[in-house]
Structures are given as structure tokens and as C-alpha cells.
Amino acid sequence: MKCKVIVFPGSNCDYDCFYIIDKIFAINVEYVWHKNPTIGPCDFIILPGGFSYGDYLRCGAIARFSPIMNDIIKFAKKGNPILGICNGFQILLETGLLPGALLRNNSLKFICEHVYLKTNFYDTFFTNAIEKDKPLSIPIAHGEGNYFCDRDIIKKLQDNNQIIFQYCNASGEVTNDSNPNGSINNIAGIVNKKRNILGMMPHPERASEKIIGTDDGKAIFQSVINKLL
């Protein structure tokens, strides 16, 4: 198995993702610079968090036109797994690989804190190793994480079971008070219809070792490895 972490100018979570795959799971992992025209041999792609191109224009809007993205789109259409975290989620939305948009947080402030996530479905590349009915404690760090889409898209997401993660409280209840950024329906992460692409705002790579407070995010990476090995 080989994992590739895509690096854009402004990425700042690429090292964290690389470390988790390399040191925690001992899986072959390589960085791929965004100007590379091809990914190369690969089973799993991570689009890390950060501020690609300084978040100018819109978050992820310029990164969408990086040369590597054409090959990533081809990779996705073959049904291979892609995990987009925070800015990576924003890039996936800009490419059209996932539906909807991410707006400024309703507080209009950058938020950096731990949140709880409810997992709605456990039959995906990214959730099969998650303990059922356990709220995941995972940090967020974003200024534009307010997920938005129109009613038609929400209905499709619901009908196709694509809303994988929702912000919740410590008891697993999805409430207004547990929504940190104003996301519609408390959405924290969605998959595409084929369920091989996950975009999420929380950072599982920052929650994969107990020494840093929680290893709840580790199960997301473990899930992909379970499917591929």
C-alpha cells in the first residue's frame, strides 16, 4: 500500500499527515508537490490542511488549478480513496468532487478548539474502524468551515447517506450549541455518492496519539488501511 500527501504552497498539516501514516501505521508514504503532473503509483491520497496559496480569492480556489489536480480527479473517478482535511476539503469542493461550499464561520472569527463528532454511517472507506455510537473528540482550526448548500443538495446528501460526520455534544446529540461554525445541519464531513472521497473540517491527524490528548482520529486512517490491505 502506498499513500501520497499532496503539498501546496501554504500547506501546514502535510507533515502531520505524513507522520501519522509513516510512524503510527508504518505505511509507505510520499509527498507530492502540487506542480507535479502525475501522482505516480498510489492507493490513497490525502489533501492536507493549511492555507493553500494563502487562501487568496477563496479557500482552495487557486489550488484547484494546480497541475496535480487533473490526475487527482482521474484517481477519484476510478473509485480510489481521497481524504481532504480542512483546506483539503475546501479544495475538493472547488474541484466539484464534492458538492456545496464552505463559508466564513458565522462568528467571523478563526476557531481553534476541540469538538465532538457524531458518525452517521460505518460502511465507508473512512469510518469502518470507528467504534459505533462513540462521539469522536477531534480539533478544528479554521476560519471558513461553515458548510453550506441548497435544499436540493441537502436532500441528495441525506437520501444517499453522504453526511458522514456532524458536530455534536459529548453525549452524541446534534444540537445548535454543539455547532461551532454555523454549518447547515451541523455538517462536519461528507462523502461523494461513490463514498470513496471524504471531505471534513476537523483534523484527525491532530488526534491520532493519546499523548496529544486524544487518538479518536486514528480510526479514520485505520479505516482506509482496513479497506486497502
| Fold assignment, 2-228 | Rossmann fold (3.40.50)
Scored b (16 or more CB within 10 A) or e, 118-139 reads bbbbeebbbbbbbeeeebbbbb
pLDDT in tens, 203-214: 999 999 999 999
| Catalytic residue list | 86, 203, 205
CB–CB of 219/126 below 8 Å?
Answer: no
Q: Is the pTM of this model over 0.95?
A: yes
Pairing of strands 82-85, 146-148: unpaired
Return the domain boundaries, the chain.
Answer: 2-228
Per-residue pLDDT of the chain (229 residues; tens, 9 = 90+): 999 999 999 999 999 999 999 999 999 999 999 999 999 999 999 999 999 999 988 899 999 999 999 999 999 999 999 999 999 999 999 999 999 999 999 999 999 999 999 999 999 999 999 999 999 999 999 999 999 999 999 999 999 999 999 999 999 999 999 999 999 999 999 999 999 999 999 999 999 999 999 999 999 999 999 999 9
